Amino acid sequence: LQHRVPSTHRHSPYLLAARSVIRLLTSVPSRAMPTDSHVDKKQRTSSTTASKSASQEEADVDGQRDVQFKVPGAIVTSRTFTVPLDHSGTVEGNIQIFVRHLVAPVQLGKKQPFLLYFSGGPGFESPRVTDANSGWIKKALDNFQVLLMDGRGTGRSTPITTNNLRFRGDAAQQAQYLSFFRADSIVHDAEVVRQHMVPGDNYKGRLSILGQSFGGFCCFTYLSMYPGSLIEVFTTGGVPPDVRQPCVADAVYRGLAPRVHELNRRYYKRYPGDAPLVRNIIKWLAAQPGGGRVLPDGTLLTPRLFQTLGLSGLGSGGGFDRLHYLLETFFDEGDEINPTFIKAWNSWQHWDTNPLYALLHESIYTQGEATNWAAHRTRQDPQFTELFDAVKAVESGHEVLFTGEAVFPWMFDDVACLRPYKAAAELLAAKSDWGPLYNPDVLAAGKIPVASATYLEDMYVDYNLAQDTARTTGEIRQWVTNEYKHSGIRDDGYRIFERLLSLVRDSTLLE
């Protein structure tokens, strides 16, 4: 069922035929959203906005309700909205944004505020909840109605796949299309969702937001662009690096490289027997025709690609152990690679299912300058080049170091599913006219409370650069800890979100 939202009923929920409380709580309040999101701030935030131009009133923003279903601990209703590809209106076209609305059955009939969750990435969809009785979602549902939005290009929000991106045209057209899938566009989409789903009499139409990792970066973008739409902000491993810099990519990778080195040292200290095993693997891969082993999907598993196992193995909770048990499956009889390893390798990689992560990764660090493959340039720096050279490590008998969170240009040669988009990736790396993601002045003067779980030894978000942002953000309170790795929200989400709630609501006092 699709319905167009009349502008004359912008702030009133539609009357439903059924009077059940469930349907009442999950109905979509009707609010028109102009195609041009860059309107006067008062028009964005006021519940009594003046009528807009005819073209704005005719904006194609529809809500589509799917069949409601239940999971343990939550009633789930889906919504799909049509939003502009380009919120500035310069480039024509629309995309779909998919949202799941979760309410705890025990909270039916209560006027709870809304909490919108931003996923990590870039390029990863919102969680698919099968049981809401555990983790951060349980604590959240005690206090909020939860909105799980698939960021544009992921999940069911006009997903970008390694199959369908080719239909967007040549490399230049693909790059232009992809440029509309950054945090600024995601936040504009979220504002459309807020205006549609949060009634004006529910905390004055405002909502709370929670972001993990890149989702936290999105929270700071939201706080920069639409502070009047927010009640409070929560981030986990998601305070962005120095938002005052036009491009912070180089600083990010130079800051994280020593941390990646240290995590390798800790890994081999825990599993010393893996050092000779990894050297043997690298030696075997380098000796293969073409410098690597061709996997069933066409990917060339080279020594340098093998090193990227550190992306998941070094920086997440339990990663050391998972990496160890993966490595021990590598060799089969007859000096061959084990099919068990190949299957596990594929499950560790997300390039085929979440290509935005590779294509837009470095763009999350820039607001106006080209990144020019910052991670690759850092790796080629004399300070790091020999350190992370796997073949030289084998020749010298040193430990082979795994790499951290980085996307390198040669991945578009080695990884089969990325090869068709190498030219588009090069154009994105060279793009120098990215728009702003943050407004440091708004952040500094902000009065919206922010609570952050900040991980001291985070391999993905540099702690020092994050503090550059925190020091210039108005009402931020941080829980700085090395008790968790970057995956804390997944590993102990209930406790972490409970702590953030107490920080933002002054239940926990900090000296």
- Residues forming the active site: 213, 433, 486
The closest of 191, 254, 247, 222 to 34, measured between CA atoms, is: 191
- C-beta contacts of 396-399 below 8 A and 24+ residues apart: 397/279, 399/264, 399/268, 399/275, 399/278
Structure token digits, residue 131: 């049981």
Contacts of 12 (CB under 8 A, 6+ apart): 29, 30
* Among 115, 182, 195, CA closest to 153: 182
Report the alpha-carbon distance of residue 70 to residue 64 in Å, rounded: 18
CA distance 194 to 118: 13
The two tokens of residue 255 are 């800051």
**Cis bond before residue 34 (omega within 30° of 0):** no
Let me know: does 161 contact 198? Beta carbons within 8 Å.
no
Round to whole Å and give the CA distance between 263 and 459.
8
HEC letters along 466-501:
HHHHHCCCCCEEEEEECCCCCCHHHHCHHHHHHHHH
As a dihedral over the C-alpha atoms of residue 140, residue 142, residue 143, residue 144, rounded to 10 degrees, the angle is: 60
Amino acid at 277: L
Provide the residue type at 458 as one letter. D
Q: Give the H/E segment covering residue 65.
A: strand 62-65
- How many other CB atoms sit within 10 Å of the CB of residue 213? 24
Q: What beta strand segments (E) does 69-227 contain?
A: 69-71, 74-84, 94-103, 114-118, 145-149, 207-212
| Distances in whole angstroms, Cα of residue 95 to Cα of each of 98, 265, 289, 436, 510 | 10, 46, 44, 22, 44
Structural tokens at position 361: 């990764």
Any residues with CB less than 8 A from the CB of 104 and at least 6 apart, and which?
Answer: 73, 74, 75, 132, 141, 142
CB 404 within 8 A of CB 311: yes
Rounded Cα–Cα distance for residues 470 and 477 (Å): 9
CA 241, 245, 247, 248 torsion: positive or negative?
Answer: negative
